Amino acid sequence: MTYPFSVHRDEFKDKRVLVTGGTKGIGAAMVERFRLGGARIATTARSEPVDAKEDVFFIKADLSTPAGTGAVAERIDREWGGLDILVNNAGGVTNQRGAFELLTDEDWQTILDVNLLAAVRLDRAFLAGMLARGTGAIIHIGSAAHLRPHANSMVAYAASKAALRTYSKGLSKVAAPRGVRVNMISPGFIETAASQDLIQDTARNQNIPEDAARRLIMEMSGGIPAGRTGRPEEVAELAAFLASERAGFTYGVDYILDGGSIPTV
């Protein structure tokens, strides 16, 4: 990855940072941003990365289970003695496509485990140490879908991110008086590798060029006044700001990073 923005090499020197789900997409961009900024960086995924970097501490884990989050917390505590910055980025959608009625109880539970409870469990594991030190930052990665939910099986994903937003705001009120900042980023249409696959599939199915498919998806998402999709590194830059001392007066905020799609909040 060639990072497109300038980075101060000592910005996060000696900071212990965990970005969950950091082997691709937005997560990979955030890992690279903190790595370039001098942090001791760790990440997680369910499978080994194909292009692992020697200075990135990788922990293979399924964060949808208590055992998985427990294993990550144990490794971090054993190797590093805690965290200074936690970015809860791991998430996912159900494989079930179609109408809302197709979602089973198991589908709902899986979505909640991945998008809400994984963050809750990791926060619980690391927040105590941050509070004891009187410093730290927790960032939850949500989705603009919680403000514009689709009336199909994606509603479970949107609902889980809405729950994450409420939880994040509540946790910030607990942590703020003791010096720990909890905030959230809710991206809109960010063009990751997965998004590019969707664009290519749409182009094939509609028999249209990829640029036209991209525009079609943008319109179906409510339109993007900025006129383009977002970049993973743009999310990473906002995460770096929220993790830094520059955001010292920022508590309990949900930043909607969607190119202007949501008309009002």
| Distance between CA atoms of residues 86 and 17, nearest Å | 6
| Distance between CA atoms of residues 69 and 116, nearest Å | 12
3-state secondary structure of 184: strand
**How far apart are the two ends of the chain, measured CA to CA in Å?**
34
Number of C-beta neighbours around residue 114 at 10 A:
22
Active site residue 157: yes
Q: Which of 3, 157, 251, 255 is catalytic?
A: 157
Q: Where are the extended beta strands (E) located within 78-208?
A: 85-88, 136-141, 180-187
Query: What's the token pair of residue 226?
Result: 């900025």
Name which of 203, 224, 222 is nearest 212 in CA terms. 203
| Distance between CA atoms of residues 2 and 194, nearest Å | 19
What positions carry a catalytic annotation?
157
